[in-house]
Structure 1
Amino acid sequence: MKNKKFSIRKFINDIHLWLGLGSGIILFLVCLSGTILAFEHEIKDFFAEEVHVEVGTAKHSVENLSKLLEESDQGFVTGVTLPDIETEPYVFTVKKDPKERRGSQIMVDPFTANMHTIKKSGADVFLMSMFRLHRWLLLDIPVGRPIVGVATIIFLVLSISGIVLWFPRKFKWKQFKRGFTIKTSANWKRISHDIHNTLGFYSCVFLVIMCITGLCWSFDGYREGLGNLMGAPIFDRSGPKIETGALSKSENITIDQAIALANEKLDYEGELSVSLPNKKNNYYSFRKYNNNNWSPVTADRLYMDTGGEILFVDVFQDKPMNVKIASLIRPIHTGEVLGMFSKTLYFLACLIGTSLPITGTLIWWNKLKQKRKRKLGNPLV
């Protein structure tokens, strides 16, 4: 019997093999749910009820629509989103109890004042299940979150070791060429190997990015450490510190006047969301998305007191690069950062990631069968 010499490549291959076999089912479920969630918003929109806006000559004011909502016993208005397309409805956020976390959303035709409460569809329920599967494996959060976190670390190791193993032993173009193509004319064993090797290589960069960013949800210490390394907090939802005592004491302006002032300051086309003043924050908070920006998920923020004085303007493009990246961790993880283009790339990469545990297991099983056949054919081996 010949003893195989130990090598770094064999060690990396063993790590890649056994970690992959041990975590295959979990990685399959996490990647499968992630593949579906790549187009979460598009799926929701497809199954959501459409509200037709009858474009007329004059719109109701936001102030008037808010009063109509409150008079119809829908609750009190806490915010509104104004689309940049005339044929789309306004979306009001209303609460019947101030203690409600999010409240409910009501679509309103600004021309006719027709109201339609947004209700959860079957797609919403399904996607929430996929979200819970992706984040916690449908388990309790304290149990599922660390399991997914450890599986993500393993997937990161698998992705990096896979890149190393993709490189041939001999650095010749003929050897490299095999790693870029799938030999479709070969038998299914060779095809499964090529799918694992080639498609895994093409998707590895995206999978590594998903792993590095995904760990921010699994481990608080990792998220804080990454934020410290970047020099900017991750998932920072805090706004600027505004001294409420220093707010203008001039006469209060209407919601529509506040919106007009905000659009004047943020002078470009795009969707505008408004959070109305409340007991905790007695000022308007605006968030606007620029249609001409490089990313559809970046927004500028503006804060205004009830008298119309602009308190603070937070323009995304003016932020330092590290702050920009830290604030975009979520869309970088989901693929939303560059819109449909990056979503499609992430969908394909995650779909390949879903196949890797399957093809990897098939490769191992085929090699195991071949090894058994060799032993049966030559008892001295």
Structure 2
Amino acid sequence: MTTRKFWTQLHWLLGITAGTILLLIGLTGATLAFRQEITELINPGVLRIAAPSYRPATPDVLLQGFAAAEPERRVATLTLYAEPGRTPKAILEPAPGERRGDVIYLNPVTGAPLPDVTGAEVFEVAESLHRWLLLPRELGRVVTGVLAIGLLVLALSGLYLRWPRDWKSVADWWRIDRKTRGRALLRRLHLVVGTACLVAYVPVTLTGIFWAFDGVRDPVSAWLGEPRPPRAPARPMAGKNDGAKAEKTAERSAEKKADRHVPIDAAWQAFERAAVPGGWSEVIVRVPTGAKAPILFTWLDTSPAHERARNRTTIKADSGEVVKDERYGAKAVGGQVLAAIYPLHMGTLFGLPGRIAMCIAALMLPAFTITGWWLYLGRKRLEREAAEKRLRKASSAGLAQSAGGAQA
């Protein structure tokens, strides 16, 4: 088997196997690319309201307003936006056994909960399908990582198979003969569009592989100067001391409820002073569980490089003293590269044009799967017809030879 034939067979094999699952990943990825805009469209008056003529409330007022409406639930993080019209977002403390709490939006003046977001469950399922194929998280990310490798091999093998012997003929890659019809036209479109999408698929697959395998992510993060902390050990199985553990959990929960109204205005004012002169556009406030607990503000400048170009400021809740102030601009190059991995995967690193390009590339995955199957089945049909033609020809020659022998 020649090298070219090997890559041809591998490209066909991956296209009709991994490509079938990549179809789902592409559709969900295209949906998630504009998740915010779609959610705002189907939830008028929740995520965004008309340009306000009011003064947005401080975090303290928002938290107190929510506590008055929902006394049994506690806010874990509160996200505020400087953009007029965007409503504050709260992530509640997760219920026992859950990884993450509910996401709700608050009235920007009173802090009262706004109506539930329609379609949130659909996007959560789409995200789980995209990232883990609805499998358990650890298994799912490995499977999607293998699929990312498959897509990378598909893209690069396709480039190799159509690489011209004469480099001057590269311009012919983009030429589509208007007179071409049928299978030849479909194959030509598959090649041309696939080459165009290669620019998107390489970074998407490399970032997907980075997230999927700790054996890749850990050394890369360490090499870039930000080693990952050791993973927490798995929780032990339930045993005889469950009752004592439940009592301790209840005690901790009671303590948190007792500290539900920890004032954070002093810390908030200190944060606003720390954000001068550039100001902030978005800030996530980690709500403290005790009066002495420091408050972490994770925030973006007014003109951030991307949505993960985050600053981190830690401030004491009682005194407003700034304990730590870490700025994205002061990070080493390696840290900035790591922060850009998610925006690169989503296309947001290049603004709206990048998002549109990634969305189109994601939508092309189903198209490549369908055309790939079409070409594969058509090829098999042609091979069968050629084999039948050869068999008929051989049979005719045998009959003629037999007839000639009989006459002799």
For the residues of structure 2 that align with 1:360 and 1:9, how far apart are their CA atoms?
Answer: 18
Q: Distance in 2 between matches of 1:16 and 1:59?
A: 56
Note if contact 1:303-1:310 (Cα within 8 Å) is conserved in structure 2. yes
Task: Report if aligned partners of 1:148, 1:218 keep a CA contact under 8 Å in 2.
Answer: yes
Q: Which moved more, 1:224-233 or 1:355-364?
A: 224-233
CA displacement at 1:303 relative to structure 2: 0.8
Is the aligned partner of 1:266 residue 2:261? no
Distance 1:189 1:25 in 2: 20
Tell whether 2:12 aligns with 1:12: no
CA shift at 1:187, angstroms? Answer: 0.9
Question: What SS does structure 2 have at the residue aligned with 1:138?
Answer: coil
Match of 2:294 among 274, 280, 283: 283
Is 1:40–1:127's contact at 8 Å kept on the other side of the alignment? yes
In 1, the alpha carbon distance for the partners of 2:4 and 2:225 equals 36
1:356 maps to 368
**Counterpart for residue 185 of structure 2:** 191
Deviation for aligned residue 1:323: 1.1
| 2:25 corresponds to 1:30 | yes
Query: Considering only CA atoms, is the larger Rg found in Structure 1 or Structure 2?
Result: 2
- Indicate conservation of the 8 Å contact 1:78/1:275, yes or no: yes
TM-score (norm 1): 0.82
In structure 2, how many angstroms separate the alpha carbons of the residues matched to 1:311 and 1:8?
A: 61
The answer to whether the 8 Å contact 1:234/1:329 transfers is no
More off after superposition, 75-84 vs 316-325: 75-84
Unmatched 5+ residue regions in structure 2? 233-261, 395-408
Residue in 2 that maps onto 1:322: 334
Deviation for aligned residue 1:99: 8.7
Q: Is the 8 A contact 2:149 2:205 kept in 1?
A: yes
What residue in structure 2 maps to residue 80 of structure 1?
78
- Report the Cα offset of residue 347 of structure 1: 0.7
Report the CA distance between 1:141 and its aligned residue: 3.9
Change (3 A) 1:40 1:236: farther
Change (3 A) 1:142 1:55: closer
Structure 2 residue 159 is matched with structure 1 residue 163? yes
Counterpart position of 1:256: 265
Is the 8 Å Cα contact of residues 12 and 161 (structure 1) preserved in structure 2? yes
Partner of 1:301: helix, strand, or coil?
Answer: strand
CA offsets 1:336-362 (integer angstroms, 9 cap, x no match): 333322211111111222322222222
1:315 CA drift (Å): 1.0
Is the contact between residue 94 and residue 100 of structure 2 (CA under 8 Å) also seen in structure 1?
Answer: no
Please state whether the residue corresponding to 1:115 is helix, strand or coil.
coil
CA offset at residue 189 of structure 1?
1.1
Are the equivalent residues in 1 in contact too, given 2:51–2:84 (CA < 8 A)? no
Say what the alpha-carbon RMSD is for the aligned residues. 3.2
Once residues 54 and 324 of structure 2 are traced to their aligned partners in structure 1, the CA distance between those partners, rounded to angstroms, is: 35
Comparing 262-271 and 226-235, the one that deviates more:
226-235
Identity of aligned residues (%): 24
User: Which residue among 381, 389, 392 is the counterpart of 1:369?
Assistant: 381
Q: Which amino acid in structure 2 is aligned with residue 88 of structure 1? A: R
1:363 corresponds to which letter in structure 2? L
**Contact 2:18/2:150, CA 8 A, preserved across alignment:** yes
Contact 1:274 1:286 in 2 (8 A): yes
Please state if 1:69 is matched with 2:78.
no
Is the 1:335–1:343 Cα contact (8 Å) retained in structure 2?
yes
Please give the alpha-carbon distance, in whole angstroms, between the structure 2 residues aligned to 1:22 and 1:96: 38
Look up the match of 1:135: 131
User: Would the aligned equivalents of 1:106 and 1:115 in 2 still touch at CA under 8 Å?
Assistant: no
Letter in 1 for 2:371: T
